[in-house]
Amino acid sequence: MLSGAALMPQILPGLFIDGQWQSGHELLSAINPATEICLAQVASGDAEAVDTAVQAARSAFADWAQTSGAQRAKVLRAIALGVAERRERLMHLQSSNSGKPLSEAAIDVDDVIATFEYYAGLAEALDGQQDQALVLPSEDFAARIRREPCGVVGLIVPWNFPMVTTAWKLAPALAAGCCVVLKPSEVTPLPELELAAIIAESGLPKGVFNLVCGTGRAVGAALSGHPGLAKISFTGSNAVGVQVMQRAAETVKGVSLELGGKSALIVLADADLDLAVDLASGGGFFNAGQMCSATSRVLVAEPLFDEFLQRLTQKAQSVQVGNPLEDGTEMGPLASQAQYLRVMAHIDVGKKAGARLLCGGERPVERTVGYFLRPAVFTDVPLDSALWREEIFGPVLCVRRFTSEREAIALANDSDFGLVASVVGRDAEATERVANALQAGLVWINAPQVIFPQAAWGGYKQSSLGRELGPWGLAAFQELKHVIRSV
């Protein structure tokens, strides 16, 4: 999609509709957050383009819905192969456009491959399983349950894991037999455009996959309110998620939401301290903390607290912040100027609320250009402060002590969110007990934030509506039909 001089500013078509690349009227700039240089401009769409894309997808749906799971699996595998073949290029585009180090971009690209391969397997397994007999408490009737694709779906994704959040929606939607209109984030269109180019060459019939780049206000809103869609699957902030839900409600569309988090990492009194510090650092600073799953509230058992805090502060100070394309960089810049300013404002408000900043939270002196920020560790954070309660979406950890397991659980659960949690401790019974008591959709015990396409993704409370990945991610794009016959 991007020419060989991929990083030269050029105008790229931002629409792929009915099998054709097209240009919209609005030019949006894709910025390199490490250099603040414009990498390319994307000729993006509007409500009219969304309408054209939805009509194309609706025309394609009748045939695509009738394909066998094996046929759909073939396309999904072709996409996985295309991504694998362009792995390096996708990594570079992602690092340049989002600021994440190449090592993290590699994890993302591999996750995309694994996701398309996994759903290829589930698509194949659908053949022969589309209808399942249902035993009724009456011999006069026979019944079956049939799973069908839910229709044409709109997919709206954020910038923090471009391609990954796309793959988590697109692969199951295509596997189920749905046609899609995808809207990537205006912040990170470049890796998404490259992925779209791979999809365009994968053998999909025209109209099955459509892409409309553009702003949330123009394209996202038009998609959420479009009456021709059966469902919207959205990943992003809570504020926008609520708007999407409200617009979708006007035509009673299905909605799946993956929203924010303010997750806890609990360090129990018998924890391995080195492991606990590593997990806290990874949970807070991976992707410069721009993770819905960031374990940004760290709860530490009283006997370990002082030592833990000292080691975590040292670790944060040693993080190599730099150009994401350079070897040895552990943390790149924040993904955009807007995000940088948002995080800085949170840090400021936190300090004014009385929280104690132990390190970081400022631009590295040697970085005069780019949205760089040194990882921050706070303690003495008031429980009612925004720093403790709101998603910051930057490299900012708040550390607090607890004196009993009960208190740790209560503190962790005292949040409007409930996406994930981590528990560190040697006593298996205690870690399992704490995991069971946490209101979170995924709990890691003594483990980094590993994610597999086979395991469910999503949270409790205001973090999610529905689940992605695994068979649950496929079911999210299926309708259930009961057929009952007199015998």
**What does the binding site for ligand NAD look like in residue numbers (CB under 6 A)?**
156-161, 165, 183, 185-186, 215-217, 220-221, 224, 235-237, 240, 243-244, 258-261, 292, 391, 393, 419, 463-464
Q: Smallest gap, in angstroms, from Cβ of residue 304 to ligand NAD? A: 29
Strand 231-235 relative to strand 254-258: parallel, antiparallel, unpaired? parallel
Q: CA triplet 115, 334, 444: central angle to 5 degrees? A: 45
H helix intervals, 145-229: 164-176, 189-200, 221-225
Q: Smallest gap, in angstroms, from Cβ of residue 156 to ligand NAD? A: 5
Q: 167 in helix, strand or coil?
A: helix
- Strand-pairing partners, residue 481, are 146
Closest CA to 1 of 182, 198, 204: 198
Q: Smallest gap, in angstroms, from Cβ of residue 89 to ligand NAD? A: 23
CA 130 to CA 350: how far, in whole Å?
A: 53
Contact predicate 455/298, CB 8 Å? no
Q: Smallest gap, in angstroms, from Cβ of residue 149 to ligand NAD? A: 23
Which residue, 31 or 268, has its beta carbon nearer to ligand NAD? 31
Which residue, 295 or 313, has its beta carbon nearer to ligand NAD? 295
Number of other residues whose CB lies within 10 A of the CB of residue 459: 25
Which residue, 71 or 215, has its beta carbon nearer to ligand NAD? 215
CA 203 to CA 338: how far, in whole Å?
A: 38
Which residue, 165 or 385, has its beta carbon nearer to ligand NAD? 165
Q: Smallest gap, in angstroms, from Cβ of residue 478 to ligand NAD? A: 20
Question: Residue length, the chain?
Answer: 487
Catalytic residue among 150, 179, 213, 292: 292
Which two structure tokens, joined as six digits, stand for 438?
Answer: 């946490």
Contact predicate 116/76, CB 8 Å? yes
CA 289 to CA 284: how far, in whole Å?
A: 5
Q: Smallest gap, in angstroms, from Cβ of residue 335 to ligand NAD? A: 9
Catalytic residue among 117, 124, 192, 258: 258
264-292 in b/e form (b: 16+ CB < 10 A) is bbbbbbebeeebbbbbbbbbbbbbbbbbb
Is 258 among the residues known to form the active site? yes
Which residue, 287 or 313, has its beta carbon nearer to ligand NAD? 287
Which residue, 277 or 420, has its beta carbon nearer to ligand NAD? 420
State the Cα torsion 391-392-394-398 to the nearest 10°: -90
Contact predicate 162/192, CB 8 Å? yes
Active site residues: 258, 292
